[in-house]
Structure 1
Amino acid sequence: MRAPAFWDAGPGHPLARALAPVGALYGRHTAARMDRPGERAPCPVLCVGNFTLGGAGKTPTALALAAHLRALGANPAFLTRGYGGRLAGPVRVDPSRQTAEETGDEPRLLARAAPTILSRDRPAGAALCVQAGADVIVMDDGLQNPSLAKTLSLAVVDAGAGLGNGRPFPAGPLRVPLARQWPHIHGLVLIGTGDRGEAVAAAAAARGLPVHRARLIPGADLTGRRALAFAGIGRPQKFFATCEEAGATLVATRAYPDHHPYGPADETTLAAEATRLGADLVTTEKDHVRLTAPFAARVAVLPVTLAFADEGVLLGQLRGLVVGIGR
């Protein structure tokens, strides 16, 4: 979905005020659901979630945390719902056999790094993670889902976007009123810079929660390349800024809704415009797995990795997961 503009216009926007009663009802219902006790998994569960609807950087965060867990001697596996895909699971993701239409885009990226289980039933998925050899589960999203008990929950916040107008859906982007979410998390991952994110970081610190500051690092050099960048993610503008950080000269950008299913018309339009502009097509890893094979071959991918500014406190939290798993 594409977030409505009024979510960023402040809590006093007329639409936000008009939808506030619906948001209050939705918020109470989802908060009560979030408070339910979950089923315990056979091993520790690290939940990488966010407070709001839409993207905040959970997938690169999950990948970075899994890499740290491996360095600590653990064998992590990813557990994902597979948003946007047809499969309900539980099933192990195999990009060589399954399409993006079946699994969604994010599970295909996760499966490159570690065993990845797609399951809308989180407890059943956790059991399959253990069968796949995991001794720690990294759950991509699911902070508000109560079905599986979490050992450690980290909320990811995009510092540029913050929490929008701070209202619950549909009046704003919050999945659950913020005051009801704080008791469920053990730390904040703040990606990038921005006053909105700093306000959330200050609120987390006031509650004694660690704030793990991080930034996305481009994984390719685009210096000297004229680019038409396109993306269907939570905040396409963030990707466009990363392209410029990688050295590209952006001659055009095209933003699509998050998890946009690219069709023949989209690909034909993008190809024709790139030819007209004399530009290279560049997109994200998540978008690239949703393209058809012939078109994908002419599109450059700009991967990103998440780097933490100070890993000390973070590693301390992760060691708490590893202790007690037989190492």
Structure 2
Amino acid sequence: MKTPRFWFTPPQRPDWRARVLAPLGWIYAAGTARRVALNNGYRARVPVICIGNINAGGTGKTPTTIALAQRLLARGLDVQVVSRGHKGTVEGPVRVEERTHSAVDVGDEPLLMAAFTTVWVARDRAAGVKAAETAGADVILMDDGFQNPTVQKALSIVVVDAVKGFGNARCIPAGPLREPVRAGLRRADLLLSIGPDGAQKRFLQEWNEAIPCPHVTGQLVPLQTGMDWTGMKVLAFAGIGLPEKFFATVKSLGADLLRAEALADHQPLTDALMKRLQIEATALGAQLVTTEKDAVRLPDTFKRQVLTVPVRLELSDWSLIDEELQRVGLG
């Protein structure tokens, strides 16, 4: 097999495990390339905007989808989201109902996004897009699916965590990527990196050579709810892609973070797990704190005992995204 050529030098030197697994990564990348090259998916009658990534795992797609939905809703558009409903049992397409569905049914991210706009869960993304069209959507936001060829996209936004970047630039299992950086970003209309200013500067220094598309920066900022976190003793837990980001946010609010429990992404919050955390928090004299995404997975008996720290995406400049929205008829 011919070794793929890198058009830049990745900032993280691959360790011995990545080098051993490299041939499997090339096979994975080749499979992705064949899949996306099909480009014969369903073409919707309304613009479909994909918020995806080339990294496996969390990069900030959900807060990006929420922020974009709010911006489009403010323009009077009927915005509907189509999600696969990761780890949910529903195959769909089904419209998410906050009052009747649980995270077990539809997944935690669709349930969270349903508080802002209409959300459809569908394992078959094309079927989900068709359901949203039938329901009168003016624009459809596709949560993830950048590598999925079953739906044609009017606009694709790739989201990346500015702190993690693209890792060692290798594909699964040799690295964190679903496809090579250059190949993925050539198909993207925009790259959005999310992180604090220092991380954004390092990200640009490390990856600028690999970015062929317009680049937008943003940060996740705690939503002001009137809660005074200063000096509050807390036990924080998070089952998201990058739990350490949440713990840093909690500390930035002035809370006294006595313990941080990093859970697996989308990990079920069972009664046994929550009882253990509650006992530990009581022993420490601490308040249980978690993310919005985790909060929708809490058992009913614990919802009043756990505080959440909601965050919202703030962009340094919306102009590049607004230009793309105008290009696809949403100006």
The TM-score, its normalising length taken from structure 1, stands at 0.92
Alignment-mate amino acid for residue 218 of structure 1: P
Answer with 192-201 or 211-220: which moved more. 192-201
For residue 58 of structure 1, what is the aligned residue in structure 2?
A: 61
For residue 152 of structure 2, what is the aligned residue in structure 1?
A: 149
For residue 16 of structure 1, what is the aligned residue in structure 2?
A: 18
Residue 75 (1) aligns with residue 78 (2)? yes
Q: Distance in 1 between matches of 2:314 and 2:192?
A: 11
Contact 1:27 1:168 in 2 (8 A): yes
Contact 1:78 1:138 in 2 (8 A): yes
Contact 2:181 2:210 in 1 (8 A): no
Residue 122 (1) aligns with residue 125 (2)? yes
Q: Residue deviations 1:129-181, cap 9 Å, x none?
A: 12222110011111011110000000001101111111000111100122221
Q: Residue deviations 1:90-132, cap 9 Å, x none?
A: 0101121111111010000111111101011111111111222
Q: Distance in 1 between matches of 2:204 and 2:90?
A: 38
Which among 85, 103, 107 is matched to residue 104 of structure 1? Answer: 107
What's the CA shift for 1:73?
3.2
Q: Distance in 1 between matches of 2:202 and 2:48?
A: 29
SS of the equivalent of 1:322 reads coil
Q: Residue deviations 1:291-321, cap 9 Å, x none?
A: 1011122000111000111112221212223
Count of aligned pairs between the two proteins = 315
Q: Distance in 1 between matches of 2:205 and 2:135?
A: 40
Contact 1:218 1:245 in 2 (8 A): no
Structural mapping, 1:65-214, within 5 Å: 65-193=68-196, 194=199, 197-199=203-205, 202-203=208-209, 205=211, 207=212, 209-214=213-218
Which among 12, 26, 34 is matched to residue 28 of structure 2? Answer: 26
Residue 235 (1) aligns with residue 239 (2)? no
Change (3 A) 1:111 1:171: same
Answer with 195-204 or 256-265: which moved more. 195-204
Contact 1:216 1:305 in 2 (8 A): yes
What value does the CA root-mean-square deviation take over the aligned residues? 1.8
For residue 4 of structure 1, what is the aligned residue in structure 2?
A: none
Q: Distance in 2 between matches of 1:257 and 1:198?
A: 29
Contact 1:68 1:315 in 2 (8 A): no
Q: Distance in 2 between matches of 1:47 and 1:12?
A: 30
What's the CA shift for 1:9?
10
The TM-score, its normalising length taken from structure 2, stands at 0.91
What is the aligned-residue identity percentage? 43
Residue 306 (1) aligns with residue 313 (2)? yes
